């Protein structure tokens, strides 16, 4: 490509679309946005309840971890969005920021005084009582809404939590995170609002913004210690684009560290073993990989009230005509924060590990560990950019994680046995061998992070150490996961990065 750009953004996901919007607002900045996946035209993207159907399709990188020794040798599926909007186009749309105080552990640039304004800058809060308050914004691109249709079982979950003495929380993104309640979601008029819809669609007309889909970035090019361009393939073509100011890796928590490694930035011995030239020795690229582990626990009920009722032509028609009804459900409708655990509540029996309904009425409780101590790593399988990396999150390799998950399973059985669920004829049964249950059912909450951490791989302004003109802006920079779902924190990280680059921070 003959025309140089000021900024090249690799990846049009939860961070890349934010960067493309904010940086191209300067008409003098030439911005190129590269996305490996296709445009977001698949009809299931806008249907909240349909997101499980998008996994293991052409819109998903469809990663798997290595067989996990502490999980009976099971590999775990790690879906990641491969489409404009990235994982925000295939996720459960839960809007959570995490505890603001926790971000201070990332360093001085991430204290609440910086982080909260970035969250508010992104948010267009739809609940009237929350708009333009201390905690919420009302003029950002990202619509945040209450669920339009709440299943009775989700309401029962909140009642069950209150019966155990847990507090009620009407706003998980306000003064406190603790308690039980209904999640807010990133939806507009009952339909999914990905970052591509929120941030990218309104500015696609800008003459200084070029968006290329189907572009698989293969490696970065350097001039000395400066990153100056990217090589990418589009179909059979091998192309090159040059950046005069900066390259921003927003390819995601797995692809960004992979691209650094492919480009010769990482542990020197590993790179040399793959026949790669070492551009910058950074031993921690790929290290500190971690995830929020969850255990999905299904329970059956006799009353026909679950989301199985959504799979009808009437529900389909209601959604398409009015944007209402059970198809607007994000599946993870309710939840709670208790101790070091987050509970996701899904009003559907998912007895199979994953998101496959069984055909029986019921619900699923998924206790999730917020601050796992187990750490893994990402490495290259080969120097071939088209090959998936080796992903080993090291689930349960720290004994404290297993102990915490035991508490989560026990609390879930207490919740399921409460009077609030007995009304619906819930079958709970005896608590089985807890450790065996955890090892057979634990999987991902879809929140991988940490393989390009602040402090070891990037600095406080997300610049790659020892390399000029290169930053990483996505979940891979998180040295410690936030307490909650990661989509919203990634948007915040991108808002912060854009402010730094524009000099308005």
**Size (the chain), residues:** 505
Interatomic CA distance for residues 454 and 255, integer angstroms? 17
Residue 290 is among the residues annotated as catalytic for this protein: no
The DSSP-derived string for 274-320 is TT---SEE-TTTT-SBB--EEE-EEEEESSS-SGGGGSSHHHHHHHH
Distances (CA, A) of 360 to 149, 409, 422, 428: 21, 22, 16, 14
Tell me if 37 sits within 8 A of 59, measured CB to CB: yes
Question: What number of other Cβ atoms are within 10 A of residue 66's Cβ?
Answer: 15
Ordered alpha helix ranges (H), 323-442: 399-416, 419-422, 434-441
Pairing of strands 442-444, 142-146: unpaired
Interatomic CA distance for residues 208 and 7, integer angstroms? 11
Specify the 3-state DSSP secondary structure of 477.
Answer: helix
- Side-chain-side CA neighbours of 144 within 13 Å: the count stands at 30
282's torsion region: left (phi>0), alpha (psi -120 to 50) or beta?
Answer: beta
Strands, DSSP E only, in 326-380? 334-338, 341-346, 362-369, 377-379
Tell me if 424 sits within 8 A of 303, measured CB to CB: yes
Interatomic CA distance for residues 74 and 128, integer angstroms? 46
Tell me if 243 sits within 8 A of 7, measured CB to CB: yes
Q: Output DSSP code: residue 183.
A: P
Ordered alpha helix ranges (H), 323-379: none
Interatomic CA distance for residues 57 and 78, integer angstroms? 13
Interatomic CA distance for residues 200 and 206, integer angstroms? 10
193's torsion region: left (phi>0), alpha (psi -120 to 50) or beta?
Answer: beta
Q: Output DSSP code: residue 200.
A: I
Say how far residue 305 (Cα) sits from the centre of its chain: 29
Catalytic residue among 136, 290, 338, 447: 447
Specify the 3-state DSSP secondary structure of 476.
Answer: helix
Structure tokens at 158: 């909140």
Catalytic (active-site) positions: 447
């Amino acid at each position: 490509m003959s025309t140089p750009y000021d900024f090249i953004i690799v990846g049009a996901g939860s961070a890349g679309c934010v960067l493309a919007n904010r940086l191209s607002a300067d008409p003098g900045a030439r911005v190129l946005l590269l996305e490996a996946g296709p445009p977001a035209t698949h009809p299931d993207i806008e249907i909240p309840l349909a997101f499980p159907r998008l996994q293991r399709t052409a819109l998903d990188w469809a990663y798997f971890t290595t067989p996990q020794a502490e999980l009976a040798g099971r590999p775990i599926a790690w879906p990641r969005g491969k489409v404009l909007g990235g994982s925000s186009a295939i996720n459960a749309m839960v809007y959570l920021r995490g505890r603001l105080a926790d971000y201070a552990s990332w360093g001085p640039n991430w204290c609440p005084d910086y982080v909260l304004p970035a969250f508010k800058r992104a948010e267009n809060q739809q609940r009237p009582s929350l708009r333009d308050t201390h905690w919420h914004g009302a003029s950002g691109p990202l619509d945040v809404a209450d669920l339009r249709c709440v299943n009775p079982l989700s309401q029962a979950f909140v009642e069950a939590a209150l019966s155990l003495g847990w507090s009620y929380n009407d706003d998980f993104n306000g003064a406190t995170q603790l308690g039980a309640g209904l999640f807010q979601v990133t939806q507009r008029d009952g339909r999914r609002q990905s970052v591509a819809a929120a941030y990218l669609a309104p500015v696609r007309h800008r003459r200084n913004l070029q968006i290329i889909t189907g572009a698989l970035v293969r490696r970065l090019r350097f001039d000395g210690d400066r990153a100056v361009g990217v090589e990418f393939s589009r179909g059979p073509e091998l192309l090159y684009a040059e950046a005069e100011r900066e390259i921003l890796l927003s390819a995601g928590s797995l692809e960004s560290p992979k691209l650094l490694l492919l480009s010769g930035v990482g542990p020197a011995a590993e790179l040399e073993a793959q026949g790669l030239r070492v551009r910058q020795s950074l031993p921690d690229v790929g290290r500190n990989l971690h995830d929020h582990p969850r255990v999905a626990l299904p329970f059956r009920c006799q009353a026909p009230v679950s989301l199985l009722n959504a799979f009808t032509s009437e529900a389909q028609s209601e959604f398409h005509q009015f944007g209402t009804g059970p198809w607007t459900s994000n599946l993870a409708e309710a939840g709670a924060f208790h101790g070091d655990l987050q509970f996701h509540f899904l009003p559907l029996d998912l007895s199979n590990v994953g998101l496959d309904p069984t055909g029986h009425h019921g619900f699923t409780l998924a206790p999730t560990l917020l601050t796992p101590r187990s750490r893994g790593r990402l490495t290259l399988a080969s120097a071939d950019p088209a090959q998936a990396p080796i992903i080993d999150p090291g689930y349960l390799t720290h004994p404290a994680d297993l102990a915490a998950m035991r508490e989560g399973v026990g609390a879930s059985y207490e919740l399921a046995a409460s009077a609030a669920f007995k009304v619906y004829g819930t079958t709970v049964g005896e608590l089985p061998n807890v450790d065996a249950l955890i090892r057979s059912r634990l999987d991902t909450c879809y929140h991988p992070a940490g393989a390009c951490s602040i402090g070891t791989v990037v600095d406080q302004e997300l610049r790659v150490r020892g390399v000029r003109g290169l930053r990483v802006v996505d979940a891979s920079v998180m040295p410690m996961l936030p307490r909650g779902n990661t989509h919203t924190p990634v948007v915040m990280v991108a808002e912060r990065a854009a402010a730094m680059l524009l000099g308005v921070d």
